[in-house]
């Protein structure tokens, strides 16, 4: 098991008060700054104003690869650029603008927030992902948001495997004012999910967030167990879970493809939350995923406080990835 699902600083203000004035874009850019700075420096040093030749194109492609865009997507973007600008004089800014526009076009169709259908009571959200991607923390952040929207929220401590995962979720429950359904460590996750749904129905809860233990997608037994959670939920409500969210660690490289593919096959993932985008270089894999799978990206985690979970916005993400002002 991993040790951490990220962490929350229990500062007195809960992190809520700070940076109130800043837009999410500023914070995302701040988070991505290291990554984009490298790209920007790279691109600018390539062009003070020079001809776009094949050697330059190759270097550009490599810069995109260093942001985890992957070989295929990086090649596609550079080819697009070559089509319009080959052999022309270009500046670094022009190249960045062109890339940002292309990336935004890829991301735009997938930038869709996680919307709660109020007619579903409870609206069941199943959170899945590999170990340490930040599921529990993301649940805490989502719960806080739903509570702020005036909804009643229930949390199900479905990670019955990792030591102290239940305690971690309980801490979140107390913080945001949401009851936590739990069973002893080692209980079957499906049984817990079933009970949680029963209770949420009985209590008329608006949103039920179900945590699950992290699992690597190539462990077929564990994946079967996850499929069972879904089957059991459907027994009570054929529509449930109404959303299945894969929490993806933003530092993960090309393995993200395999993660999304397998989780989608097993539990029909309906959307993504990308976490840990506040460290150093990262985030490019989202572009490649959007191209391959076209699944909605609901939100990005750009920090440790509850407010650092932000809706995913294509244009801004693309521009901040390329180090451009809003």
Partner 1 sequence: MFDGLSERLGSVFDKLRKRGALSESDVDAALREVRVALLEADVALPVVKQFIEKVRVRAVGSEVIKSVTPGQMVVKIVNDTLVETLGSDSQKVSVSATAPVPILMVGLQGGGKTTTTAKLAKRIAEKERKKVLMASLDVTRPAAREQLKMLGEQVGVDTLPIVPNESALTIAKRAMTVGRLQGYDVVFLDTAGRTSIDEALMSEVRAIRDQVKPHETLLVADALTGQDAVTTATNFDERVGLTGIVLTRIDGDSRGGAALSMRAITGKPIKALGVGEKVDEIEDFHPDRLANRILGMGDVVSLVERAAETIKEDEAERMAARMAKGQFTLDDMATQLRQMRQLGGLGGILGMLPGVGKIQKALAGANVDEKMFSRQEAIITSMTKAERKNPQVMNASRKRRVASGSGTQVQDINRLLKQHMEMSKMMKKVGKMGGGKAMMGMMGGGMPPGGPGGGGLPGGMGGLPGGGLPGMGGGGLPPGLPPGFPGKRK
Q: Does 286 bind partner 1 (CB under 8 A)?
A: no
Q: Does 168 bind partner 1 (CB under 8 A)?
A: yes
Candidate segments 78-86, 111-119, 280-288, 312-320, binder of partner 1 by CB under 8 A:
280-288
Candidate segments 44-52, 215-223, 230-238, 310-318, binder of partner 1 by CB under 8 A:
215-223
DSSP state of 89: E
Instruction: Select 168 or 270, whichever has its Cβ closest to partner 1.
Output: 168
End-to-end CA distance of the chain: 39
Closest distance to partner 1 from the beta carbon of 150 (Å): 25
Residues 6+ apart with CB under 8 A from 1: 131, 161, 162, 163, 213, 214
Residues 6+ apart with CB under 8 A from 171: none
Exposed, middle or buried: residue 65 (CB in 10 Å: 0-12, 13-18, 19+)?
middle
Asked if 111 and 24 touch (Cβ cutoff 8 Å), the reply is no
Asked if 166 and 219 touch (Cβ cutoff 8 Å), the reply is no
Instruction: Select 27 or 162, whichever has its Cβ closest to partner 1.
Output: 162
Q: Does 224 bind partner 1 (CB under 8 A)?
A: no
* Contact characters 78-117, partner 1, x per CB under 8 A: ----------------------------------------
Closest distance to partner 1 from the beta carbon of 300 (Å): 14
Q: Does 5 bind partner 1 (CB under 8 A)?
A: yes
57-76 residues in contact with partner 1 (CB under 8 A) are 62, 65-68, 70-71
Q: H or E stretch including 135?
A: helix 135-148
The Cα–Cα gap between 41 and 233 comes to 50
Q: What angle do CA 297, 301, 305 make, to 5 degrees?
A: 150
Q: Does 308 bind partner 1 (CB under 8 A)?
A: no
Closest distance to partner 1 from the beta carbon of 45 (Å): 15
Binding residues for partner 1, rule: CB under 8 A, are 1-10, 34, 62, 65-68, 70-71, 130-134, 161-165, 167-168, 170-172, 185, 216-219, 249, 251-258, 276, 278-282, 284-285, 304
């Amino acid at each position: 098991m991993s040790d951490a699902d990220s962490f929350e600083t229990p500062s007195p203000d809960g992190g809520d008060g700070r940076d109130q004035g800043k837009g999410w874009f500023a914070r995302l850019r701040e988070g991505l700054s290291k990554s984009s700075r490298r790209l920007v420096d790279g691109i600018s040093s390539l062009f003070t104003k020079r001809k776009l030749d094949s050697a330059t194109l190759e270097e550009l492609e490599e810069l995109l690869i260093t942001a985890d865009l992957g070989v295929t997507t990086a090649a596609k973007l550079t080819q697009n650029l070559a089509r319009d600008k080959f052999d022309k004089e270009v500046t670094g800014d022009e190249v960045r603008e062109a890339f940002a526009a292309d990336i935004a076009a890829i991301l735009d169709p997938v930038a869709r927030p996680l919307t709660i259908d109020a007619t579903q009571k409870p609206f069941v959200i199943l959170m899945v992902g590999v170990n340490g991607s930040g599921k529990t923390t993301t649940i805490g952040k989502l719960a806080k948001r739903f509570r702020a929207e005036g909804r009643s929220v229930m949390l199900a401590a479905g990670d019955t495997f990792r030591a102290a995962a239940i305690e971690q979720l309980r801490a979140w429950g107390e913080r945001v004012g949401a009851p936590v359904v739990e069973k002893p460590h080692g209980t079957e996750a499906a049984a817990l999910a079933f009970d949680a749904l029963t209770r949420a129905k009985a209590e008329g809860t608006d949103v039920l967030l179900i945590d699950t233990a992290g699992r690597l997608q190539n462990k077929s037994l564990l994946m079967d167990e996850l499929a069972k959670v879904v089957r059991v939920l459907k027994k009570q409500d054929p529509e449930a879970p109404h959303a299945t969210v894969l929490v993806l660690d933003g530092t993960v490289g090309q393995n993200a493809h395999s993660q999304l593919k397998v989780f989608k096959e097993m539990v029909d993932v309906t959307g993504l939350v990308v976490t840990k985008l506040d460290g150093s270089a990262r985030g490019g894999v989202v572009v490649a995923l959007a191209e391959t799978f076209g699944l909605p990206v609901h939100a990005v985690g750009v920090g440790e406080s509850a407010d650092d979970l932000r809706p995913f916005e294509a244009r801004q993400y693309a521009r901040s990835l390329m180090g451009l002002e809003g």
